Amino acid sequence: MAESLLILGARTFALEVADLVSEIPRYRLAGFVENLDPDRCLQPLLDLPVYWVSELARLAADHCGVCAFGSTRRRAFIQQAVAQGFPFGTLVHPAARLSPKSSAGPGTVIRPGAVVSAYTQIGEHVLINRGALIGHNVEVGDCVTIGPGANMAGFCRIGSGSYIAIGAVIVERITIGAGAVVAAGSVVTKDVPDHVMVAGVPAVIVERGVDGL
């Protein structure tokens, strides 16, 4: 029997994740969860209920979830759910490939066309967008967002809460710091410190004091 799944989020990206869930036989979409505007709970979304975040405690026994926020700042919503004992599932679309020698933590979403090579560890609540390529022996921290078409080579280390934007390229054995942002189309050839934004070809620091995106 399919597991009942709730999507944390009730906006545009939640609809995309709902479409993803519809093609994963392991899960049955049972509704959405809102944490900002209680009025959103007054009307169904895709003919399914929208629950207020405080209801997760009573739903935890027979539901799991994923968070549909593209921003790495989804961490606050996830923490609200965790505090109520709410469990998380892992979504891997049938058109994605996660090597059987690799792993992906709870709450992670791997979208169509993404490829995760062997001996790679993907953390919790990671979003791997369509067509992203992740090499072998990579470590990806929690709450990372990897944009569409991003390409990282082997032995990279991606810090928690970082954001790798669309089309970025990260060469072999690079470390991306926690909370860092790699701008769209950038080519990263040197390690990136924590909490900076890099951009360009090759990528250089363009902003400091960032915390994901």
Res 1: pLDDT: 83
- Count of residues making up the chain: 213
Res 72: pLDDT: 82
Q: Categorise residue 54: left if φ over 0, alpha if ψ from -120 to 50, beta otherwise.
A: alpha
- The residues annotated as belonging to the active site are 136
Instruction: For domain 3-83, give the CATH superfamily.
Output: NAD(P)-binding Rossmann-like Domain (3.40.50.720)
Res 47: pLDDT: 97
Q: Determine the Cα–Cα distance for residues 117 and 80; give it in Å rounded to an integer.
A: 32
Instruction: Note whether 47 and 115 are within 8 A (CB).
Output: no
What is the 3-state secondary structure of 8-32? EECCHHHHHHHHHHCCCCCEEEEEE
Q: Give 43's DSSP letter.
A: S
Identical fold for domains 3-83 and 91-207, yes or no, is: no
Res 35: pLDDT: 95
Instruction: For domain 91-207, give the CATH superfamily.
Output: Hexapeptide repeat proteins (2.160.10.10)
Res 73: pLDDT: 81
Q: For the whole model, what pTM was predicted?
A: 0.95
Domain locations along the chain? 3-83, 91-207
Residues of the chain with pLDDT under 70: none
Instruction: Note whether 126 and 142 are within 8 A (CB).
Output: yes
